Chain A
Amino acid sequence: MNVISNKWIGQRTIRPDGADKVTGRAAYSADTTLPGLIWGKVLRSPHAHARIKSIDTSKAEALPGVKAVVTAKDLVDFPLDKSVMLGIQDMRWMCRNVMAREKALFHGHPVAAVAATSEEIAAEACRLIVVDYEVLPHVIDIDDAMQPGAPILHDFIQFEGKPSNIAGKLEHKLGDVEAGFAGADVIIERSFSTEPVHQGYIEPHACLVSVSGDGKAVIFSSSQGQFMVRAMTSLLTGIPQSDIRAIPAEIGGGFGGKTIIYLEPVATLLAKKSGRPVKMTMSREEVFRASGPTSGSKSTVKIGATRDGKIVAGQGTFYLQAGALPGSPIRGAAGCAFAPYDIPNVHSLGFDVVSNRSKVAAYRAPGAPIGAYAVECVLDELAEALKIDPLELRLKNAAKQGTKAAHGPVFPRIGFVETLEAARAHDHYKAPLGKLQGRGVASGFWFNAGGESSAQVNITEDGNVAVTTGHPDIGGSRASIANITAELLGIDYNRVSVQIGDTASIGYSNLTGGSRVLFASAMVVTQSTEKVITTLRERAAKIWKIDPEAVTWEDGEARPAGDNAGKFPGLSLADLAARASETGGPIGAGVQLNTTGAEGGFATHICDVEVDAELGIVRVLRYTSFQDVGRAIHPSYVEGQMQGGAAQGIGWALSEEYIYDRNGKVDNAGFLDYRMPVCSDLPMLDTVMIEIPNPKHPQGVRGVGEVPLVPPLAAVANAVANALGKRFYALPMSPPRVLAGLDGA
């Protein structure tokens, strides 16, 4: 149905949360305080792998100022033989990640926690806890974890009948790859590796929890879902959801990393035991040591094509690090890798590998950048071998409406071809390059998601609008929702206020993740607003004593539908709000849905680099992203998503990595030596939005937040190969690696 109008939808309105954020007034979780609060601190394992034989907390408990101590014994146990799922998270792993149970599985794994009247006393109490460890051999890298005789993390995990660190396998098959390769004129097969990278959100995890005498808990925390916080805390503490109110604070970045919890259940138990509100904050070091990065990987991709550039078969094997507990994003790697292309024969295989690292968490299109990196680099070599322009090769094989993807769906109207055509036509693609400069292109796909959302739209007594939804706003969703509401009601944007409700004030809403928030919340807000408009027409009809069908809603007021309906001056929102009580009571409506029809997102990126061949430094000179964004409800925040994904992808490609020492301890747990790009490392990241409205959404919205991180790894790698005439198959392409590679050539 795609309501396309330009009064507010598509406008770059000022975000409702903007003034507070730029003046420092916005309240993040660590800004929250309560009378009588005390401080919680986590004792973390000094070993990468150790059996916990006993924990003696008596000295810590005796320290003056200590109010509570918890260990795994205080959390609900989820036995290993029975899976309990919450979304994609298995609570067996979640409870062991929050607090080590049988074993400490990585350096930094929580072992116990203390609450005390000061942070210093809590830290001192942690030092007084005596943990008797039996230190076990540890394993960090994928290859080592899969070697025969490798230290096994979990005895209960079996692969092909034997104890193994391979915790899972996922396979997608389409057609017959053997037959496909038999018909190929050119086949390229290459192996790749990538390092784990952290989401790098600016705000470390933090929470404040108060549990009253009658057992009712209030949690202030920043997360990608207050309902997830409530549900997981309930499962891990045994407190029913009805006794937990989770209040979402402003969030300083998440990128998937805040779709799970670390501190909330621990703080809840400490608050319950002590009777005092408990605040916990992670240091940046704790964030790096113990919160989830995304997986490192090893992969092999083989693609075959006929001489005319038609791809006939694709095969990919992707090994992803899960960290210490199962659950790496193999679905994203194996499922998205070949999805942009119409390939008759595909075999895509993912393996989930555990090792003694912190458990991975979601990161923006989880797994997909890993799959796309390998496939898009092989495509580049294929184009070279076939002497076809790399964008032409992609165009020749691009998925379109009706293409059957290896991971299952048949695509509806999608805009992948348009991204390729726009890239080919852009002046960036034709700009001249200098010495030691190179250009690379790459494309990418992300599933996108729908799911559960709730909204409430209320008309205030003075005739303005208050909208409440249930998703933390990370990417500007409040501004976008206000645009849509103002558009539908025909009123000024500034008359709409949008709130994020807590778990007690709005219906269940799934995570801010999967690029789903604006897609899903636009649906529930649209339907709620339509209900409100129906009520407004009914109220006007009542005042005019005519049939509601004879009333229309136009330009922010009720009007008689035509001359036959009678002649009345229009009734504005303020008029109708003023007379709400006498016409039937307060005006408002809510809708709760499990939304469907999200449909995938596609992007194509062009990257120019220059290499300092004496120092091994790769600098990105120019970068342009082309993306099918469905409909850009708020273009600034769509562009922001595109730029953010490109920036993170450039970091992944060039500089970000975890470095472990011999003892299995992260050696670069801080932003100095974990090198995310800073502003001066990047050029202006240009964006080209291509609007192919999603036919299954009232405003044509497609998710836009994740696909921007899918192409950059390969776009940068292909640009480096183009600049040097030499290809690197491992990320990051950091200066020492590049110089060593050039000297070895």
Chain B
Amino acid sequence: MMQKLKKLDLETLKSHYIVSNTPAYLYKYFRRDNSVQKLAEAASYSELEKIFNSKLKKKEKDLDDLVIIYALVVALSYHDYSKVRSFFEKLSDVDIEWLSNIKEIYLSSAEVTQYRSHNILYKPSQKKKLDAEVSNKVLNTSVEPTTSIRKV
């Protein structure tokens, strides 16, 4: 599982960390980092959470550990909101500078998107009626309105 951390470009991430003036800057540049995106793709949210917890348990953390912790949190921000929401809500309890701010940034940038799908019955014109009778197809059959949550 830890092998997946090798995807991280630690040198670039450390350079982002060191010039960061605000948590928003750190969050944004980590999110834009390709290696963080690759980690997010390669690891499930539960894997990322496990690695995060193991890093937190380490007593004497060095800068690599700190940058990895931030990278894991940001990688989790790419995962499904409904799965990682509770993880982010607990970040205030973690004694790492800026994690609480990152939690706020993440939760405030989550956007609820609602969409509905409708039945559309295909009504052929007279000219096309014959063809339609042959194919006799009804398009789109889903009924229930659906809600999803999208990260922006």
A in complex with B: no
